[in-house]
Amino acid sequence: MPRPINFCSGPAALPVPVLQRMQTELADFAGSGISVMEHSHRDARIVSLFEETESLLKSLLGIGSEYRALFLPGGATLQFAQLPMNLLRAGACGAYLTTGAWSEKAIKECQRYGDAVEVASSKASSYTEIPPRSDWRIPDSACYFHLCTNETIHGVEWFGSLADIEIPVVADMSSHLLSRQMPMQEFSLVYAGAQKNLGTAGVTIVLIRDDLAIEPQASTPSLLNYTNQMANDSMVNTPPVFPVWVLKLVLEWVRDSGGVSAMESRNQRKAEMLYAAIDQSSLYQNPVATSARSWMNVPFVLHDAKRDVAFLSQAEALGLLNLKGHRSVGGMRASIYNAISEDDVQMLIDFMREFERTSA
């Protein structure tokens, strides 16, 4: 049987060439005779690994020396807290746009450290759209504006411009960084867990622009102080070396596959194919407004929920794995990150059509 296709939202599919390189190079990192996990992080080879990963990531994203890329522990969830600890000043607030489950969590966590104001929310529509820009009310006291540019659970993606926002813009790009070209210059700080489009759990990427004013709250642990991490090149303590190595292999795969513009064309085609198949069917339905449909996470429901169990078991028997939707929204979800090919998506569509035809 061919290798299964993993549509999991994260930890997600890795490109097979990356898995093969990991296997080949695991026991002997850079000709040293020992594995990447066994080196001191002060070893010149590991210091170079971090430097090269930072520079490759920045070059793929089209950003230069005005940004630092940090490789930090704690997942994107820790960033929900680390961000206000570092950016929220006395008398100021964080301004949050709520477009789904992940931005809900971000604002809740901020409230533990200071004042957080919701500028708009699409909760009333069950997070099937992004509130129109004209409805956002950003308070004068806000010292940053936060949004999640791809809501992994609700399948809602931001495609607009934030260039008119005058305060620093911060984005959780966990589930679509490197999936398409983003106007990176509009963002002062970006964070993303690695385990979707970028590698394996254990490292979180934080991009910080040099003009961002950072004044950590006095109680901020030194490990969580962005300035301290920048000064120590992400090595305030023993860093997650193995996931950074996997990240570098994934970045090299993206570069060798044509870079982010090639990912973007492919991802757009994949998403169009899948949404078209859903829209044309009378069994499947995606509830998200067309302009906000995520290219990475495609949730859909079966009109007849009694067929859900059969759908999932038949899919799994064919090697189409992890299509069950998040428990909070139900139904199905296909996560079609960079490592999922157009052929993989076509196989899913073929299965969905066949299931619709035969399961009535």
Known catalytic residues are 102, 172, 196
Contact with ligand PMP (CB under 6 A) among 175, 229, 281, 286 = 175
- In the chain the first and final C-alpha atoms are separated, in Å, by 28
Edge-to-edge strand order for the sheet containing 67-72? 67-72, 204-209, 189-193, 169-172, 142-148, 93-98, 115-121
Smallest gap from Cβ 79 to ligand PMP, in A, equals: 8
Tokens of 32: 């040293």
Q: What's the rounded Cα separation, in Å, for the pair 165 and 186?
A: 9
Q: What's the rounded Cα separation, in Å, for the pair 222 and 154?
A: 35
Q: What's the rounded Cα separation, in Å, for the pair 194 and 175?
A: 9
x-or-dash string of contact with ligand PMP, 94-123, rule CB under 6 A: --------x---------------------
Binding segment for ligand PMP (CB under 6 A), chosen from 46-54, 72-80, 113-121, 158-166, is 72-80
Smallest gap from Cβ 76 to ligand PMP, in A, equals: 3
For position 331 contacting ligand PMP by CB under 6 A, the verdict is no
Would strands 297-302 and 332-335 be described as parallel, antiparallel, or unpaired?
antiparallel
User: What is the H or E stretch that residue 215 is in?
Assistant: none
Smallest gap from Cβ 353 to ligand PMP, in A, equals: 29
Q: What's the rounded Cα separation, in Å, for the pair 224 and 86?
A: 8
For position 179 contacting ligand PMP by CB under 6 A, the verdict is no
Binding segment for ligand PMP (CB under 6 A), chosen from 75-83, 107-115, 264-272, 275-283, is 75-83
Give the binding-site size for ligand PMP (rule: CB under 6 A).
11
Smallest gap from Cβ 148 to ligand PMP, in A, equals: 5
Binding segment for ligand PMP (CB under 6 A), chosen from 44-52, 70-78, 221-229, 242-250, is 70-78
Q: What's the rounded Cα separation, in Å, for the pair 298 and 156?
A: 9
For position 206 contacting ligand PMP by CB under 6 A, the verdict is no
Contact with ligand PMP (CB under 6 A) among 114, 193, 239, 325 = 193
Name which of 68 and 196 has its Cβ closer to ligand PMP: 196
CB 91: neighbour CB atoms within 10 A? 9
Q: What's the rounded Cα separation, in Å, for the pair 355 and 341?
A: 21
Map the footprint of ligand PMP across residues 143-172, applying CB under 6 A: 148, 152, 172
Tokens of 27: 């026991």
| Angle ∠(194,59,344) on CA atoms, nearest 5 | 50
Name which of 152 and 338 has its Cβ closer to ligand PMP: 152
Applying CB under 6 A, the residues found at the interface with ligand PMP are 10, 75-77, 102, 148, 152, 172, 174-175, 193
